[in-house]
Amino acid sequence: MILETKALGRDFGGLTALNDINFAIDDQEIVAIIGPNGAGKSTFFNVISGFYPPSRGTVSFRNQNMTGTPTHIFARLGIARTFQTTHLFYNGSVLDNLIVGYRQKTKMGLFDAILRTPRARREEADSREKAQEVLNFIGLAGISTEPVANISQESAKRLAIGLALISEPRLLLLDEPAAGINHNETKGLVELIRKIRSHGTTVCLIEHKVQMVMGLADRIMVLNYGSKIAEGSPTDIGSNQKVIEAYLGRAHHA
Amino acid sequence: MLSKNQKFKWSWLFYLAVLILAFIFPALNPGSYYIQVVSLAFIYAIAVYGLNLIEGYMGQLSLAQAGLFGFGAYAAALLTMKLQLSFWLAVPLASVLTAVVAFFIGLISFRTRGHYFVIFTLCIGVIINLVIQKWDAVTGGMNGLIGIPKPTPLGPISFDSLKAQYYLILVFLLLTVFVMYRLVNSLIGRTFVSIRNSEELAAALGINVMKNKILAFCVAAFFTGMAGSLYAAFIRFIGPDISSPTLTFEFLLYLLAGGQASIAGPIVGTLLMSGLTESLQFLRDYRLLLFGPLLILIVKFLPMGIVGLIHKLASRSPFRRSAAKSLNPSKTVKGEGL
Amino acid sequence: MSLFIQQIVNGLTLGSIYCLVALGLTLIYGIMEVPNFAHGHLYMVGAYVTFFGMTLYGLNYWVSALVAGIIIAILGVITERVVFNPLRHAPSSNRFIAALGAMMFLEAAARLLWGADFRSIPPVYDKVLSFAGVRVTEQRVIVIVAAILLIIALNLFLKRTIIGSSIEAVAQNPDGSSLVGINVNVVGMLTFAIASFLAAVAAALAGPIFLVFPTMGELIIMKAFVIIVIGGMGSIPGAIVGGYILGLTESLGATYISMDYKDVIAFLVLVIILTIKPTGLFAKGV
Ligand SMILES: Nc1ncnc2c1ncn2[C@@H]1O[C@H](COP(=O)(O)OP(=O)(O)OP(=O)(O)O)[C@@H](O)[C@H]1O
Ligand SMILES: [Mg+2]
């Protein structure tokens, strides 16, 4: 077990976006979270990645209670994430983005930078090398010098994943990685996610493309109105009455 | 690849030419008035480099800059006048003190964001300005401080003449540019720019946003304080005016005119705008009449300033066609050092 | 004790002026998310127009105030059209900087046209009323009463008229409003007109008590910012409460703490509040 939530809840003003979630993610599995729009999926991610403090309950990561931990420490402990609306650093090239992504692993300070000490040079070289490695892994080596503002939606999605991967996280959270890309591209992405897992990283993803999830995930959690309404293998979920009702009962767009 | 090399050589030659010009400028006998004008512009440029770091690279519009400039100036003046410290001790000490003050300001002010941060820092600037105005016993109140000693001779080199002072200030300016260049082209600079682009993403990548903001603010304050202390030693008279928000707004104008988030921007903007002010003599007292609308025009039509414009033109030139493909030049130009 | 009451009355006078200026600032912020730095300088021009209306053209005090209100309202609409409207979709720091530009221009123009001298609007209602040992000039009573009337009128306008409630609608949801047929452009201009009118009238009211000079807008705009940060940027009740709080704090602080540092107090209050609550006292949202 890598991450566990106990009675986790989060409110926004009067709205309960997340309620009483007990959930655990095991080492090296691929879990998916599905649910209608506004079900609280992204909120769940935001809470377990340290972006929003929970209103109730606890998150523990590798048996460590994360209550009160600053956001950037979540990342340093090994929880990496992407955002639903793809976040990238739009002023740089693909390579530039990845280099910054590696910053948390480097230690150089102000004087290293000003004096260009051996450490500064070594770390800059390391960052580049690591970035190149990740570029190959996510299949973007061919466009490494391209400004991010010019790359395709699919490449942007892959780059966002690469940014999260470069610090070698233990747990990777992907918020709708396949949104806005076509069928073939989605297949490629599934391959990438499998490859990530085979390198030892646990993956948890939110996805509306149910078909993709059914083929990819080991386990699925279904949220509706902030509560967990089902959890189980893809086959269990596919035949779960509550899940079918939740999807039929509310207009939703895949 | 080739075009990149070419660009490198050309800009390198260009900078060498500018540097030579800066060094031979006093030898051209431009008259003491112009030496004075350019020296003062250099001093302001150092402060504008500070603003460039915090606003241009970090994206945090601090309006406390003149307050910090004034703080540095008064600190250096008091250190040399009251404690009889040498210029060479007083300037670094005043700069460090300014950075320390900025550290505490940053600790509080970076808890706020967006417009709150801007207004907060403006208020800090006003507080510094008001305290300088009112604290007669130390700052001389509205009368200011007069008779600040000239820079202490450095062995055989004395700084009595205007030309010697010009070179002294030039050296400080070059030092500033060097540090800023190294900084923004390092992993640290990349970190700052990433925070400007998206604090959320930076935090998700394990970057300590607060710590980096405070670091940038302290470095910015160090140079702003240094500029202030040079001002004190160069002009040798200081009054509360040098810490007033109006000066912050002028710094901002210099930065925007030159181009934020570029290494050349601050010096280009400062020289140009102070040159403009001086050459339009009749406008000297009413320069804000011109500066105000200029500021509006710049943010509307030239958001990356003159340096940004040159970049854009250069990337369109036939020699560098590959770069011209960029669909969104305004987005890609920002953040590139010159 | 009577000194204390005296200072309360002074604080209310000051607070009334602050309220009227801060109300305009918060209205504009609510509608356009513009921290309108030039607002205090419209206040300054309003003071000059009143001054010249009375001294140069021999107009009655109230007529001058009204003329100032109208002229400044027009000036406000012009700044909206020329400066802020073209930058509607620009990053927020650009709007901030443009506002600074407008401010610099107005101040420089005032200096050029009217010089840096201090002037004062000839007092009309300078009779001293005294009761229970407290002495108040009629003008101060007028300021307090007029401010209350204007605040009531503004609230009635926003709540009871269709055009007024469209301002509130835009403030709540600028993107959705154009969908339901509200013309965001008209609302923007109207808001600037109202806000500028209030600033000019505030200046006319304050004119006979305080002095008129080109940089008079500088301090008041910063204090108005302090007020709306305290009260929550965009909040109308917040601006009213914040205005009176600041007026009273300054007046009492000047008496009981330090006359010299009375202007520092406002900014210290803000620093302390933002230190404790970085999003302001009455922040909306999370
Ligand atoms: N920062 C916030 N402030 C206020 N309300 C929020 C915030 N974030 C989310 N919410 C609300 O919480 C509820 C759950 O939102 P969330 O984004 O978690 O849904 P989701 O399951 O990710 O939906 P989608 O599939 O559309 O991405 C929604 O009603 C949303 O409006
Ligand atoms: Mg979501």
Separation in Å, CA of C93 to nearest CA in chain A: 18
Would the CB atoms of B291 and C271 count as touching at under 8 Å? no
The alpha carbon dihedral of A61, A62, A63, A65 has a sign of negative
- For ligand 1, atom 14, which residue shows the shortest CA distance? A40
For ligand 1, say whether the CB of A84 is within 6 Å of any of its atoms.
Answer: yes
* Mean pLDDT for the stretch of residues B49-69: 95
C153-176 mean pLDDT = 79
Helix ranges restricted to H, chain B: 2-24, 32-51, 65-81, 87-109, 114-134, 136-139, 162-184, 187-197, 199-204, 209-235, 245-258, 265-279, 287-301, 305-316, 329-333
Summarised one tens digit per residue, pLDDT across range C1-58 is: 677 888 888 899 999 999 999 999 999 988 888 888 899 999 999 999 999 988 888 8
Residue C181 has pLDDT above 70, yes or no: no
Please determine, for residue B323, whether its predicted confidence score (pLDDT) is greater than 60.
no
Best to test chain C binding among B60, B133, B295 (most C CBs inside 10 Å): B295
Residue (of A20, A6, A23) closest to A204 by Cα position: A23
Mean pLDDT of B127-150: 89
A119-168 pLDDT tens trace: 999 999 999 999 999 999 999 999 999 999 999 999 999 999 999 999 99
Contact B292 C263 (CB under 8 A): no
Cβ atoms B85, B93 nearer than 8 A: yes
Sign of CA dihedral A163, A165, A169, A171: positive
CA B109 / ligand 1 centre spacing (Å): 29
Task: Answer yes or no: is B222 within a domain.
Answer: yes
Tokens at C189, concatenated: 């201009």
d(Cα C109, Cα C112) in Å, to the nearest integer?
5
Interface residues from chain C to A (CB-CB < 8 Å): 285-286
Count: domains in chain B: 1
Residue B332 lies in a domain: no
Shortest Cα distance, chain C CAs vs residue A191, angstroms: 39
- Domain hosting B161: range is 12-327
For residue B205, give the DSSP letter.
T
- Tokens 């009595």 belong to residue: B160
pLDDT at residue B7 in the model: 55
Find the CATH number of the domain harbouring B190. 1.10.3470
Check CB contact under 8 Å for A113 and B183: yes
Q: Which chains touch A (3 or more CB pairs under 8 A)?
A: B, C
Give the residue from B58, B180, B185, B187 with the most A CB atoms within 10 Å of its CB, the best one to mutate: B187
Cβ of A39 less than 6 Å from ligand 1: yes
Q: What number does CATH give the domain A1-78+169-254?
A: 3.40.50.300
Closest chain A residue to the Cα of C284, Cα to Cα: A13
Q: Which of A65-79, B1-15, B216-230, C96-110 has the lowest mean pLDDT?
A: B1-15
Q: A161 CA to middle of ligand 1, Å?
A: 22
Q: Which ligand is nearest to the CA of A43?
A: 1
| B45 interface with C at CB cutoff 8 Å | no
- For the stretch A5-49, pLDDT in tens is 999 999 998 899 999 999 999 999 999 999 999 999 999 999 999
pLDDT tens digits along C111-148: 888 888 888 888 888 778 887 777 878 888 888 888 89
Q: Is A38 near ligand 1, meaning CB less than 6 Å away?
A: yes
A16 ligand 1 Cβ < 6 A = no
Please report which ligand is nearest the Cα atom of A55: 1
Residue B52 above 90 pLDDT? yes
pLDDT digits (tens, 9 = 90+) for A226-235: 999 989 999 8
Structure-model confidence comparison of residues A83 and A247, the more confident one = A83
Q: Is the pTM of this model over 0.80?
A: yes
The shortest CB-CB distance from B197 to any of A72, A89, A103 is to A89
**Looking at the predicted structure, is the pLDDT value of residue C178 above 70?**
no
The answer on pLDDT for B336 being more than 80 is no
Task: For residue range B171-195, list pLDDT tens digits in order.
Answer: 999 999 999 999 999 999 999 999 9
Atom number in ligand 1 closest to CA A226: 14
pLDDT (0 to 100) of residue C262 = 78
Ligand 1 atom with least separation from CA of A18 = 14
| A84 CA → ligand 2 middle, Å | 6
Q: Is ligand 1 within 6 A of the CB of residue A41?
A: yes
B90 domain-assigned: yes
For residue B329, pLDDT beyond 50: no
Q: What's the CA gap between B332 and A39, in Å, rounded? A: 37
Largest CA distance in chain C: 59
CA–CA gap between residue C249 and residue C264 (Å, rounded): 11
Quote the tokens at residue A120: 């500064």
What are B218-276's pLDDT values in tens digits?
A: 999 999 999 999 999 999 899 999 999 889 988 998 999 899 899 999 999 999 888 88
Percent of chain C's residues with pLDDT above 70: 94
Q: Where are the domains of chain C?
A: 20-216
Query: How much is the pLDDT for C17?
Result: 93
| Of residues C100, C112, C267, nearest to B249 (C-beta) | C100
ipTM: 0.90
Domain boundaries along the sequence of chain A: 1-78+169-254, 87-166
Which of left, alpha, beta for B285 (phi over 0: left; psi -120 to 50: alpha)?
Answer: alpha
> Is the distance from the beta carbon of residue A224 to the nearest atom of ligand 1 less than 6 Å?
no
Q: Are A161 and A98 in contact (CB under 8 A)?
A: no
Three-state DSSP class for residue A203: strand
